[in-house]
Amino acid sequence: MFYWFLKRIVLGPILRLIFRPYVIGAENVPAEGGAIFASNHLSFSDSIFLPLVVERRITFLAKADYFTGAGFKGWLTAKFFRGVGQLPVDRSGGSASEAALRTGLRILRRGECLGIYPEGTRSPDGRLYRGKTGVARMALEAEVPVLPVAMIDTEKIQPPGRKRPTLGIRVGIKIGAPLDFSRYEGMEGDRFVLRSITDEIMYELMELSGQEYVDIYAQVAKDRLKAEKAEAKAAREPEDPAATAGGPDGQAPAA
């Protein structure tokens, strides 16, 4: 109930007025039955704008950090994310990844729509990165179609490092034709099949979004970028004269 209240009464009208989102391919959304919306990921707002333009309810699996904040702000944040259709999952890997997959399958087997970001995290630079195979496994196990979704210009609303969003940016949502992977029925345990399916989904996302594709995981790119920034910062910092000289009085320390 709170989901529809936010979408139709409170949040939806405001977002439509300010950002004027447009959608291409809404006719590709099935009227009923489970379906996976596999989207590129440019901004935290992707999980808000996609459900806004789709008539059916979409549930996203969000990182648990959004739901564990302390105090009133933490409670309000958790309430908001649940209200816009997101469920907390531990994305730290291993058994946590398996639990997230089980949660996603429960949603799909109820005949509902599930939103997934195959890249696993937001793009650090606007490019499209290698997809993780969980989306392929869920599609095969739940026997549902995958709809590729390209979010357009959502990263311009609040780029990394900017505290306040930029208003008036028009965002777009492109929904591609459903991808049917029934030809791989019973092969969800084959890692080569899962990679093939995932790569096919990522190719469709590249075609829809127009993004440059990079065949590494987005988290790897983020870690490299972070390391480069740390190195650049260290290079800019002036050396400590005392450390350079070897001692507090400019003389080399005793052996």
pLDDT, tens digit, for every residue of 206-225?
Answer: 999 999 999 999 999 999 98
Q: Is pLDDT of 244 > 80?
A: no
Say which range, 50-54, 157-161, 175-179, 249-253, has the weakest mean pLDDT.
249-253
Query: What's residue 152's pLDDT?
Result: 97
Q: Is pLDDT of 241 > 60?
A: no
Cβ contacts of 255 within 8 Å, gap of 6 or more = none
- Measured CA to CA, the distance from residue 35 to residue 38 in angstroms comes to 9
- Measured CA to CA, the distance from residue 78 to residue 64 in angstroms comes to 9
State how far the alpha carbon of 17 is from the alpha carbons of 51, 72, 168, in Å: 16, 29, 9
CB 52 within 8 A of CB 46: no
Mean pLDDT of the chain: 87
Query: What's residue 253's pLDDT?
Result: 46
Q: In the structure, what pLDDT confidence band is assigned to residue 252 with cuts at 50, 70 and 90?
A: very low
Query: What's residue 71's pLDDT?
Result: 83
Query: What's residue 95's pLDDT?
Result: 65
The dihedrals phi and psi of 84, each to the nearest 5 degrees, come to -95, 15
Torsion sign over Cα 79, 85, 91, 97: positive
Helix, strand, coil share of the chain (percent; to 5) = 45, 15, 40
Q: Is pLDDT of 65 > 80?
A: no
